[in-house]
Amino acid sequence: MSSPTTTLAALRKSYERAELDETRSAENPLLQFERWLGEAIEAQVPEPNAMTLATVGGDLRPSTRIVLIKGCDARGIVWYTNYESRKGRELAGNPYAALQFHWVELERVVRIEGRVGKVSETESDAYFASRPLDSRIGAWASPQSEVISGRDVLVKNAAVQAARHLLSPPRPPHWGGFRLVPDRWEFWQGRKSRLHDRLRYRLEDGAWVRERLAP
């Protein structure tokens, strides 16, 4: 029996679900993104709100992880996390990042780049208060990205924090939101024969320039 790695080069897929061209795409990339996100939600793709976040540390090593989008408007794209985690520390040193959505079932990818900053404490407080109690306790219990001796550390921390805060845990000072302000978007639609559609939007003198890229 052959191993999975021996068949990787033979894997193929023909992309034929949809198309993307300049006449059917929105002039504003945020509107195009909202359209595609809405279609992903309507199509019930698994976790349509999941996005890959890429950051770069002071050692110039890139790292990625999956986070969940929690807000999107003209101000930018928002997610929440532990500010003392690896991503939080890397963003503190280098405030530029990239996001990627991959909606496999729709044969679509959206890539977004821009500068990142913290959201206001008021926004972070409001979102934290909306989270389930277990998630709020978990934000206190987990020293995210730190080495721990075992899962029992998390369980013990959660019990201690639950007893301490009962039903009203406040937002930890090390936890809150980030907002990426896009200056570049790219929308990718899979097409037949690998002649995929790629539209890039880049900010130039305060206006969005839309251009097609070769696949």
Q: Which residues are catalytic?
A: 194
With contact defined as beta carbons under 8 Å apart, do 179 and 171 qualify?
no
Q: How far is CA 12 from CA 46, 193, 195, 214, in A?
A: 22, 11, 14, 20
Q: 63: closest CA among 18, 101, 94?
A: 94
State the virtual CA torsion across 86, 90, 96, 99 in degrees, nearest 10: -10
Q: How far is CA 95 from CA 56, 77, 88, in A?
A: 9, 14, 10
What is residue 181's DSSP assignment? E
